[in-house]
Every structure is written in C-alpha cells, then in structure tokens.
C-alpha cells in the first residue's frame, strides 16, 4: 500500500514537471511618473548573459528586442528614432541553479531506497529577463519587469513572446490610490 502511494506521488510530480516551464513575473514602477504622457519609445541597450558573461548572442537578443517592441506597440506606443519618450532596455540570461534536496524519511526509489538524512544536489536551468523603461528626458527608471522561468525556455521565440506579453499586461501600471 505504501508503494502505491509513493508511486502516485512520483507520477504526480512527473506530470506536473511535464506541464511546461513556470513563469514568474514581477513589476515595479515609479509612483511619481505620469505614464499617460508617454507616447513613443526607442530601443536602448539589450544584453545577453551566458555562463556569467556578456555574449554577442544576436539570435536571442533580436528575439527579445522584437518581443519588447511588440509589447510596447500593443500598448499604443510608437517607435521613434529621435526624441522618444521612453527608452526600453533589457538583460536576459540563463543560469544553472543548484538545489540541495533531502529525504527525512525512507522513500522507495526504484530498487534502492533513500534513507533518513540522505541528501543530493540537483541542477536545472533558470532563465531571467529584466525589462527596464527609462524616461528619455530625465534618464530615470520608471518601470521594470522581472521575469524568471524554470527551464531554458529563454531561447525559444514563442516563449519569449509569451513571457514579454505577460509582463506588459501590467503596463501601464494602475495609478496609486489618492492619499
């Protein structure tokens, strides 16, 4: 009976893991900024970070650049080569995350069992994308989106579009309630 419960638990985790990468999106903004005055944007610097160093991965850079432009245009902003209201910048990267896992009780794993106080390290990729919108006149950051995805999906064009679109669901931010 114990083995059936453990088998069902393992199957449940396997099915959950197969559902695709998890995506967490957080945004922050300057509460003093007047977002209704922003009408145009231009793309600023885009950085791709691999293995802890800046790279010239123009494939990923172009994918993120296009997704950010699309996100801003769907919000009604227009691209401008000169005198834009906002400058959009980003940094994207994938890193390997190590996690320490342990079993505090006996668990059947295949033919061998894990015993109390057994520990092991697992590694998995995690992608991060930070999008900044900077007021072109003041050079102050007015909006930031921080996206984290389990897995190495930050190379996939469809996933990048989906992730950036999800971030721009929160732009422009709702104005804070009057004090």
pLDDT at 17: 39
Q: What is the mean pLDDT of each run of 10 residues along the chain (179 residues)?
A: 35 39 90 94 93 83 96 96 94 80 60 62 81 97 94 81 94 68
The per-residue pLDDT for 50 is 82
What is the rounded CA–CA span in Å between residue 56 and residue 50? 10
**Distance (Å, rounded) from C-alpha 53 to C-alpha 84?**
30
**Domain segments of the chain as ranges:** 21-168
Note the pLDDT of residue 16.
37
Q: Are 153 and 164 in contact (CB under 8 A)?
A: no
Contact of 48 with 95, CB cutoff 8 Å: no
Beta bridge partners of 125: 96
Q: Alpha-carbon distance 42 to 137, whole Å?
A: 13
The CATH architecture assigned to 21-168 reads 2-Layer Sandwich (3.30)
* Residue 43, pLDDT score: 97
């Amino acid at each position: 009976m114990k083995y059936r419960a453990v088998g069902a638990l393992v199957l449940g985790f396997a099915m959950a893991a197969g559902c695709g990468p998890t995506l967490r999106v957080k945004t922050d903004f300057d509460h003093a900024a007047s977002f209704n005055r922003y009408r145009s944007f231009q793309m600023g610097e885009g950085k791709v970070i691999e293995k802890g160093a800046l790279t010239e991965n123009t494939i990923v850079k172009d994918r993120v650049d296009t997704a950010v432009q699309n996100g801003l245009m769907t919000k009604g902003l227009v691209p401008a080569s000169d005198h834009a209201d906002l400058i959009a910048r980003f940094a994207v990267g994938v890193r390997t995350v190590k996690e320490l896992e342990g079993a505090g009780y006996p668990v059947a794993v295949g033919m061998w069992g894990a015993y109390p106080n057994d520990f092991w390290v697992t590694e998995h990729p995690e992608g991060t994308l930070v999008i900044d919108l900077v007021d072109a006149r003041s050079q102050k950051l007015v909006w930031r989106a921080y996206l984290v995805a389990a897995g190495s999906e930050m190379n996939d064009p469809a996933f990048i579009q989906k992730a950036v679109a999800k971030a721009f669901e929160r732009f422009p931010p709702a104005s804070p309630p009057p004090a």
